């Protein structure tokens, strides 16, 4: 794969970072790891439609869903090398770049609702985090919502004790790793494309994700019990290769900015309904039992996960925690 990535950058350099020759359009390869029929998948397709429309066909956006071009661990390196121009990874994916501050967004019970999340990402928190990417040759364009996480296993997960000894798949966030350890489970980092088979074969026992991903990836078919816990939030950062983006003609970049703004509004507007519809579809299937936490159970989860906040200081740093605490009016300890 590394040979392919370097071959990609060689081609990108030869053609002047992703820009087209005089005979053809500018090609933007947009890679992501989820299905087309999810908020992110639909957002990518809407961006493609609008980008090609607003540039009068001078830009061609090629969307590669479901890890068909690159998997989780490969895609950011591919972006930096110029082999792909645009991604929308979960914000937990930036720690390997040395930017751990994004993981503050993974703190459990941080956002009380979608409105709180949206306000934070449009405000100082979201802007400050995007500035951290610039030194890595990456520019942040937008944050896309995918709602709140649920948890699942082949047994009901209602109290912290129910997590004891479970191997839980996580996307890579050390914050998620910490709060699942606080619950007594054993987190396992795994590429999104491998989760279904891992759940099916018992390589892992459990996972967390949003309702739309549970439905479209069919995780609900291989997990007997899903807890609609909404304990943490999942968001994506739409990012581009800075050299490519800054090298675009001003009129093209302006048109793509407009397309991204509209695609972002669309994606974030459908995220809640997409997850509600997915949850209804999962319930209708009858293949899994949905569980909802009562007040006592929720408080037990919150108490068990609370040590993650103190631990997070050493992971993400005090500066981002202070910024998040001020913006959201929450206590970090």
Pairing of strands 233-241, 206-209: unpaired
Annotate 243-300 with DSSP letters as a single string: HHHHTS-HHHHHHHHHHHHHHHHHHHHHHHHHHHHHHHHHHHHTSSEEE---HHHHHH
CA gap 163, 174 in Å, rounded: 18
Q: What is the pTM of this model?
A: 0.88
pLDDT of residue 73: 82
Residues paired with residue 261 on neighbouring β-strands, in sequence order: none
CA gap 162, 168 in Å, rounded: 12
Residues paired with residue 63 on neighbouring β-strands, in sequence order: 30
* The token pair that represents 305 in the structure block: 């996960």
Look-up of token digits 């949850």: 279
Ramachandran sector of residue 329 (left: φ over 0; alpha: ψ -120 to 50; beta: rest): left
Do residues 303 and 311 touch, judged by C-beta distance below 8 A? no
47 closest CA partner among 257, 270, 271: 257
CA gap 64, 193 in Å, rounded: 13
Per-residue pLDDT of the chain (333 residues; tens, 9 = 90+): 444 444 444 444 334 444 444 568 999 999 999 999 999 999 999 999 999 999 999 999 999 999 999 988 899 999 999 999 999 999 989 999 999 999 999 999 999 999 999 989 999 999 999 999 999 999 999 999 999 999 999 999 999 999 999 999 998 899 999 999 999 999 999 999 999 999 999 999 999 999 999 999 999 999 999 999 999 999 999 999 999 999 999 999 999 999 999 999 999 999 999 999 999 999 999 999 999 999 999 999 999 999 999 999 999 999 999 999 999 888 776
CA gap 232, 34 in Å, rounded: 19
CA gap 13, 8 in Å, rounded: 9
């Amino acid at each position: 794969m590394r040979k392919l990535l370097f071959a990609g950058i060689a081609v990108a350099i030869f053609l002047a970072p992703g820009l087209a020759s005089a005979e053809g359009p500018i090609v933007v390869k947009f890679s992501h790891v989820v299905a087309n029929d999810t908020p992110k998948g639909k957002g990518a397709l809407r961006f493609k439609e609008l980008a090609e429309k607003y540039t009068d066909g001078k830009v061609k956006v090629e969307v590669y869903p479901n890890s068909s071009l690159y998997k989780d661990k490969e895609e950011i390196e591919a972006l930096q090398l110029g082999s792909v121009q645009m991604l929308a990874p979960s914000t937990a994916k930036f720690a390997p770049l040395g930017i751990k501050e994004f993981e503050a967004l993974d703190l459990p019970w941080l956002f009380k609702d979608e409105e709180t999340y949206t306000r934070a990402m449009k405000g100082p928190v979201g802007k400050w985090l995007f500035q951290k990417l610039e030194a890595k040759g990456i520019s942040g364009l937008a944050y896309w919502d995918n709602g709140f996480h649920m948890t699942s296993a082949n047994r009901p997960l209602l109290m912290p004790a129910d997590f004891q000894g479970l191997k839980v798949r996580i996307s890579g966030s050390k914050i998620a790793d910490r709060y699942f350890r606080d619950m007594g489970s054993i987190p396992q980092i795994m590429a999104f494309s491998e989760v279904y088979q891992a759940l099916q074969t018992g390589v892992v026992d459990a996972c967390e994700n949003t309702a739309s991903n549970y439905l479209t990836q069919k995780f609900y078919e291989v997990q007997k019990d899903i807890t609609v816990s909404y304990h943490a939030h999942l968001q994506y950062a739409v990012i581009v290769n800075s050299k490519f983006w800054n090298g675009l003609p001003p009129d093209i970049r302006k048109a793509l900015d407009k397309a991204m703004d509209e695609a972002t509004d669309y994606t974030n507007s459908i995220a809640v309904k997409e997850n509600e519809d997915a949850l209804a579809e999962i319930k209708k299937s009858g293949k899994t039992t949905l569980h909802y936490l009562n007040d006592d159970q929720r408080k037990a989860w919150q108490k068990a996960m609370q040590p993650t906040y103190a631990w997070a200081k050493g992971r993400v740093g005090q500066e981002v925690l202070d910024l998040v605490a001020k913006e959201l009016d929450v206590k970090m300890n």
